[in-house]
A and B are shown apart, each in its own frame.
Chain A
Amino acid sequence: MNHTLKALVAALCLSSSAATLAAETLTIATVNNSDMIRMQKLSKTFEEQHPDIKLKWVVLEENVLRQRLTTDIATQGGQFDVLTIGMYEASLWGAKGWLEPMTNLPATYDLDDVFPSVREGLSAKGTLYALPFYAESSITYYRTDLFKDAGLEMPEHPTWEQIAGFAAKLNKPEQGQYGICLRGKAGWGENMALVTTVGNAFGARWFDEKWQPEFTGSEWKNALTFYVDTMNKYGPPGASSNGFNENLALFNSGKCGMWVDASVAGSFVTDKSQSKVADSVGFTYAPKQVTDKGASWLYSWALAIPTSSKAKDAAKTFSAWATSKEYGALVAEKDGVANVPPGTRASTYNQAYMSAAPFAKVTLESLKAADPTHPGVRPVPYVGIQLVTIPEFQGIGTQVGKLFAAALTGQMTVDQALTAAQASTVREMKRGGYPK
């Protein structure tokens, strides 16, 4: 009896260890935002459907995630099987051969359903290197109640001049109400995302066709002067410290008459549990000026597989599932249709979604209009609307962002900031061997 029991226990141990050995474990690095946390929560369904794949999550703040993934992929560390990356990394890392091409996807994936602009943004030399989880553009948020009280009407496609006019009328600092909130915090993904779209709208560009920076041109001067003047006159105090979250907090607490920022904020400003102004928010397109080309940005968080992964097939199975129509349907069923990851698939924008998400139409049209290969009125040698897809851009963008933030705080004049931006960009580009 004793021997039988021992044999049974041994058999059980062996079978359980065999099962453990058979299961492949995927380590997924992702960013901490509501859509990704929802993916983590709903991924239990994936594990039930694929008992041979176990998922481990590493959730990080965006900047930490970027640094962490860059270190790992550049050294081929192989700590992660699925990476959450943006358009900037997807095309650069794909071109370097650090990412697995997203080929041989299941027939049900329907890649043609994914917006072409998003697909192109995640590709390098025509090869797709990441599957889009959600995508965003920039749009204008405004307070319908304040506009009504002031007798104002927001046009569908406002110009920056019109926006400044509205801001002047809505600006009541004595009541803690400011005309407009815009990003001011220095960083290539912070103030430079917004200021680059302002520059695009004013006809400016980062580089001419020969990779010569253009900050000393009249277009940049007009754009930066407008941005600095508007923010100093009608913006909240300490605007140079404000990024997305700070402005979201200001807008949600009723301190901003208008706000131009990522379309992903649409679900936050209309959520009554976190917004005091949820019932009085209007949505319209990002402001244009001399052109509407490049006036609103394009960004996407996407799932990619590093070539150093030891579980590439399982990683592709998961990436395809998390970015599929099936996943969208699961989100709609569990958390409501308004929470389906936006901006990647045409099929998402059905009648039910358009009714549930009041910002959906503006987002959809902005995404359709976005063209990273033509971000302004004049031709450019780079790809990207609010960024320039070259490895040097993180450093250059952040340096220029610091100078523009200094202009906002008054530490420098607009002319000084632009001259310094030109000098530092010329230096870095020469070092990178760009000007031809």
Chain B
Amino acid sequence: MLTLKQSRRLQSVVVGTLSWAVALLIFFPIFWMILTSFKTEMDAIATPPQLFFAPTLENYLHINERSDYFSFAWNSVLISFSATVLSMLIAVPAAYSMAFHESRHTKRTLLWMLSTKMLPPVGVLMPIYLLCKSMGLLDSRIALIVIYTLINLPIVVWMVYTYFKDIPVDILEAARLDGATTFQEIGRVLLPIARGGLASTMLLSLILCWNEAFWSLNLTSSAAAPLTALVASYSSPEGLFWAKLSAVSTLACAPILIFGWISQKQLVRGLSFGAVK
């Protein structure tokens, strides 16, 4: 019979081991991608797969020679950050009104907004393509910024709304009693309290924009093409390409992975320092 202390220790070991197993399982494809990026094409297709091999940088040199990586990366940064900021600018007032001035249509409006995410993007490819064409926005960053803002807006509004809902109305009423205007109420009271949630929403929006490939592949050609377009250019129907594709995928993932890693600490701190959480 285990004592309570032993039982807790066992539970902790089991949970810890399981967590590590799940984490390793999730990380394995990324690890394998990075590993493959340092292989030759022959090593990349070897069966059984090789864990130990002579590493090479030839794939990265090939990418450097063939493509202007920094131009694609700059487009990714500019488009993702702009779309995220724009969607937050729209989502915060929208979520504020829905969370603190709820009407009988609020829930249905939220569900309707989310339901737009269920529409397959290809269903609206032609109208959006023609709109962009007639407005001279094909292969422009503006088109992608606007589209990314719109496609992520339902999720962003929903997330910000749930964070706002956790904040007691009393805090805002206290601010109002002290003479705060609506903008002061949002800017000085609501946003600082919800900063952890807002930061995680922004990070999610950023990741969604960074990884979006359908619209970037269809609406851009060269000037506004982000990293997803660069990755797509290294897949090939004829010839071996796994090592090169892994290298370019590593380069495409690296900035957002690093950014996520750095902001992780801020996120946790933001969440734990919240007035309510």
Contacts and interface: CB of A to CB of B under 8 A. Distances in A.
Contact of A71 (B45, B46, B218): B218
Chain A: interface secondary structure?
Answer: mixed
Nearest to A76: B133
A75 B222 contact: no
Contacts of A58: 221-222, 225, 233
A244 B218 CA distance: 25
A33 B218 contact: no
B130 A75 contact: yes
Contacts of B138: 77-79
A276 B237 contact: no
A77 B225 CA distance: 16
Given A61-B237, A64-B217, A71-B125, A252 B232 contact: no
A264 B41 CA distance: 18
B42 interface: yes
B236 A61 contact: yes
Interface in B119-154: 125-126, 129-130, 133, 138-139
Contacts of B179: none
A76 B233 CA distance: 23
A92 interface: no
B168 interface: no
A105 interface: no
Nearest to B213: A64
Contacts of B47: 176, 253, 255
A75 B126 contact: yes
A189 B232 CA distance: 19
Interface in A206-230: none
Interface residues of B, number: 30
Given A64-B232, A75-B133, A274-B42, A243 B237 contact: yes
Interface string B214-238: 0001100110010000001111111
B90 interface: no
Interface residues of A, number: 45
A33 B138 CA distance: 26
Given A63-B237, A245-B238, A253-B45, A37 B66 contact: yes
Given A56-B222, A273-B40, A274-B42, A248 B239 contact: yes
Given A32-B235, A40-B66, A59-B233, A77 B222 contact: no
A80 interface: yes
Contact of A253 (B46, B129, B130, B237): B46
Contacts of B241: 32, 245
A189 B225 CA distance: 27
Contact of B235 (A61, A78, A189, A264): A61
Contacts of B133: 75-78
B247 to A, nearest CB: 14
Interface string A262-279: 101100100001111000
Given A71-B129, A75-B126, A79-B139, A268 B218 contact: no
Contacts of A33: 236-239
Interface in A230-249: 243-245, 248-249
Contacts of A347: none
Interface string A31-53: 11110010011000000000000
22 contacts: A41-B66, A58-B221, A60-B232, A61-B232, A71-B218, A75-B133, A76-B133, A77-B133, A80-B221, A244-B237, A244-B238, A245-B236, A245-B238, A245-B240, A248-B240, A249-B240, A252-B45, A253-B45, A262-B238, A268-B239, A268-B240, A274-B240
Given A32-B241, A77-B129, 11 more contacts: A31-B236, A31-B237, A32-B236, A37-B66, A41-B66, A58-B221, A67-B218, A71-B129, A176-B47, A245-B241, A249-B45
